[in-house]
A and B are shown apart, each in its own frame.
Chain A
Amino acid sequence: MNPIVQAAAQLLRIRRGWVQLGAALATNSYFPTFLKRVPCAGLNCYSCPAAAFACPIGGLQHFVAARQVPLYLGAVLGLTGLITGRLTCGWLCPFGWLQDLAYRLPVHKWSPRARLPWLRFVILAVFVLLLPFLTGEQWFSKICPAGTLEAGIPWVLLSAEVRKQAGWLFAFKVATLALLLGWMTATRRPFCRYFCPLGAVYALFNPISLLRVTVDSSACSGCGQCRTICPVEIDPLTSVNSVECIHCMECVRACPSGALFLGRAGRAPQATTAELRG
């Protein structure tokens, strides 16, 4: 068993919410700011008054807007994706954790039929790469809800100078965030599923990452618990390790028959859903 899979198996012994809380505190620990040389693994605004790391998406826009190839940042994100796939989305991203918490609120739940897995790639291409390259401005930052929540609102509350300058863009961002927060209570992880450009970067590496969940079709009882528990509402039997899977490994934990497990890297699912369900 490779060390990545071993580490992930250890991670599964801990409740995911505690790891997410720890990651959110660590990334916003007001730690000595030399860490801002390092991009945060999850989506976390560097302008948050307590942020310890640089924002990966903000950094990408910065380099692209300056017409430089983001070698360092791209390599850090790429290597993270190559090793763990979208594990960051499932376990470390503070904004992902917020969505998991919001969905626990007892309100009417709604599961959109449209999956649109390509939409976040369009957002990555247009708002993070193309528009910043053409205009020299950071377009995704202008709509980023994590920035509004972690930086915009705190700074408007903390600083009279910032409050004076906040205009229509701030109002637009707060309205967008309010809509998204409402949506988070009804739908599982809508931002991750439809909009997150960082999730899109990691998703590119998900199908070949060292960390993989394996399906043993012969052990599957067809109970469907993996589908029920999946926070991004995919069918783990066919779509685990796909670009939509966030490697939270809840399906591995929930499977009563051990049909889903952390397996040898490179090992592919052994059957299709049709074969599994007869």
Chain B
Amino acid sequence: MRVQDGRRNVARWLLAAILSAALVTGLVLGQAAQLFAYAWPLCLPCIGIQ
């Protein structure tokens, strides 16, 4: 069980590092602003208009 816990912790920290790097890269690339631009007008397929 301890081996499994250890592996889980390694997976957790590895993923946290990868996701943090992705977050910073995404922000530097301006993806938050892109998301804002996307989410501002109406989503026509969500409403049911093609």
Contacts and interface: CB of A to CB of B under 8 A. Distances in A.
A171 B50 CA distance: 12
A155 B47 contact: yes
Nearest to B32: A37
Contacts of B49: 162, 165-167, 169-170
Interface residues of B, number: 34
Interface residues of A, number: 56
Contacts of B47: 47, 147-148, 151-152, 155-156, 162, 166, 170
A174 interface: yes
A45 B46 contact: yes
B15 A82 contact: yes
A162 to B, nearest CB: 6
A59 interface: yes
A74 B22 contact: yes
A167 B50 CA distance: 9
B31 A72 contact: yes
Contacts, number: 149
Given A36-B36, A79-B16, A208-B11, A173 B43 contact: no
Contacts of A182: none
Nearest to B50: A169
Looking at B35, B40, B50, which has the most chain A CB atoms within 10 Å of its CB?
A: B35
Interface in B22-42: 22-23, 25-27, 29, 31-36, 38-40, 42
Given A82-B16, A152-B47, A54 B42 contact: no
A54 B29 contact: no
A169 B48 contact: yes
Contacts of B34: 62-63, 68
Interface of A: 33-34, 36-39, 45-47, 53-55, 58-59, 62-63, 68, 70-76, 78-79, 82, 137-138, 141-142, 144, 147-148, 151-152, 155-156, 162, 165-167, 169-174, 205, 207-208, 210, 265-268
